[in-house]
Chains A and B, each alone.
Chain A
Amino acid sequence: MFYKSNQYLRKATRTHEFYLFLVCIFFAVVLAIASGGRFLSFENVMDMLAGNAALGIMATGLLVVLISGGIDMSFMAVASIAQYVIALFMIHIGGNFLLVFIIAGLIGIVLGLINALLVHRLKAPTIIITIATMNVFYGLLIYFSKGTWLYNFPEWFSNKTPLSTVALPVGVLISTVLLTWWLLRYSNVGRQIFAIGGNLEAAKRIGTKVLGVRMVVYAYMGLMAALGSTIQVYIIQNVAPNSLIGREMEVLAMIVLGGAALTGGRGTVTGTVLGLLLVTMIGNGLVIIGVSSYYHDLVMGVVVLISFCITGLRSSRNKGREVSL
């Protein structure tokens, strides 16, 4: 921790996060000039923060899964279920903020544990398993909800002040970021998550309880997905069971942009936050500049693929270095 300051600086400027930070600043400046300053106005920055806090919260969960060497394609389905259940709960029973968060969190954790067990038991790629569970979760949700939208929430939930629209999402986002940072960096489980992501066989040999770690990882993912979707309900004030599905790639892009290895074992919370910033700025910037929404997917696709290529090249270069040493 106690590097000499210039040594620390030199080290910091060589990281992926530093370059990403420069890219973020570059984009911010370009967009600010292109939009005539509107991009950096107070309202817009607050809008961006609140509007993408939900995806950011989910991103911290997916980061943990990616570091453990897996991937979860079902988290948006989990989020949709949690969202729908709490919406039903609020409309028919009531409750309060704390209760809503607890119920959503529990649903997320349970569905996450199902994923963890399946991933652990079945010897197929994680992505195939979670695509299957996504279809099960989502299919059942639409079947039972019949695709109905829910709105008209109780007053304690729907009365938003300008302060709370920003404070609640951003507050939850910051606390989940800090929690994830602590989990990955200082907790015992965090070290084991890196271990099974880096080399599963080696982690088993040193006695890591893989099932336990995976349960923590996927339950954490489920919890974050549920929290994120709760925040989203608060901002949008309605629940459409199909509104979240299909946005997985945006979240994945944030993490991969943030420098997490696609094959597990590497990734930082700082990187993910910067990735969140970049994806948010691109999405918002397109709207502000006045690009038609038909081009949104196209631009996101290009950004995602470029970020994949850069991280792919980087990790293959690192692999080469390890072999030659």
Chain B
Amino acid sequence: MKQSKWYNQIRKDRDNVVLFAILLAVVVIMSLVSNKFFTASTFQSIAFQFPEMGILTLSMMITMITGGINLSCIATANFVGIIMGILMKAYIPGDSNDIFIVLLIALFGIIISIFVSMLSGVIIAYFQVPAILTTLGMQLLIGGVCLAITRGGIISGFPGSFQFIGNGSILSIPFPMIIFIFCIVVMAIILRRLPLGLHVYMYGSNPVATEFSGVNVKRMLLKVYAISGFFVGMAALVLTSRFNSAAAGYASSYLLQSVLIAVLGGIDPNGGAGRVSGVILAVLLIQIVASGLNMLQVGQYMAMALYGTILLITVSLRTKTNM
């Protein structure tokens, strides 16, 4: 039942079909270029890596559908990681693996993330500052807080039960993957089943009309950024656990990548359009490209330039010219 629905959706949607074709092409080219590519271990490592990217992109996605953006997501994730790290160091002695306390701390981390993102939401909704600038400012501020807390140092060495979040598997399905699937379901329900989802798309295509049609726009924006914060918190759990450490400057290259994936996945940067299925395909595509580049020993900075170029090309194909 679910599979046929998926199939129809892909058939209906040209963009997703194109993405899927590119995905296949990339896989084929990669396996031709490098005989190390098409192996179980590659896909195993991709399965562990792409959930974190995907969850971050979901946090970017819901804000981009409203025509905003969340550029402070990486800084917030680092902040949450640092807070969780400090708490775990303080309350979990040496070798013990108290799952209850770990869960409590994880929950606390997610709540903090929601509140931090809601602060951006407050500034965007009530002070009417453009989302881009607000979240850029928040990035600076939160990064500053992280630096002030850690004094440039690294917090590392977490209990085994916490490391399981990022590195364990249940029935040979990586645990990060399970978290990602959970997040996808949450996102899909919000966007397709709840009134909030409809309002998000409405606001993205015409904010003024949405306000005049009786939607409490300010409260809606707050909810949007809270949801974005929830996903950032989930991503922070996976990231911190996988790195087994937390510091101020981690994962900074993920920021551009998540914007790139969102645009590649069919989300209009001007707001109003975008679907979860496109994002999933785009995450997979970029992750495979990334591991391929890694295998071909293309340096980090060349990859950065390449992602920038891909983003420009995608934007030019996705949006009609301005003439």
Contacts and interface: CB of A to CB of B under 8 A. Distances in A.
Interface of A: 71, 118, 120-125, 127-129, 131-140, 142-143, 249, 252, 256, 262-263, 292, 294-302, 304-305, 308-309, 311-313, 315-316
B148 A305 contact: no
A120 B319 CA distance: 12
Interface in B214-244: none
Given A125-B269, A298-B144, A304-B137, 12 more contacts: A71-B132, A123-B320, A128-B311, A131-B308, A132-B256, A133-B308, A135-B305, A138-B301, A139-B305, A140-B301, A297-B141, A305-B134
Nearest to B318: A124
B315 interface: yes
B129 interface: yes
A308 B148 contact: no
Contact of B312 (A132, A300, A312): A132
Contact of B127 (A121, A292, A312): A312
B127 A309 contact: yes
Interface string B17-45: 00000000000000000000000000000
14 contacts: A71-B132, A121-B321, A131-B256, A134-B308, A135-B307, A136-B308, A294-B152, A295-B144, A301-B138, A304-B140, A309-B123, A312-B127, A313-B127, A316-B128
Given A124-B270, A298-B148, A143 B130 contact: no
B206 interface: no
A322 to B, nearest CB: 14
Given A123-B270, A138-B304, A298-B144, A263 B312 contact: no
A297 B305 contact: no
Where chain A touches its partner, the secondary structure class is helix
B269 A124 contact: yes
B44 to A, nearest CB: 29
A122 B129 contact: no
Q: Chain B contact residues (Cβ within 8 angstroms of A): what range?
A: 35 or more
Nearest to A313: B127
A133 B270 CA distance: 18
B53 to A, nearest CB: 16
A136 B263 CA distance: 17
Nearest to A119: B322
Nearest to B303: A139
Contact of A308 (B69, B127, B301): B127
Closest 10 CB pairs between A and B? A301-B141, A139-B305, A297-B144, A298-B144, A135-B308, A139-B304, A312-B129, A136-B308, A142-B301, A123-B319
A305 B315 contact: no
Interface string B295-323: 00001011111111101100110011110
A28 B28 CA distance: 64
Interface string B125-156: 00111101110111011111101100110000
With most chain A CB atoms within 10 A of its CB, the pick from B128, B130, B132 is B128
B246 interface: no
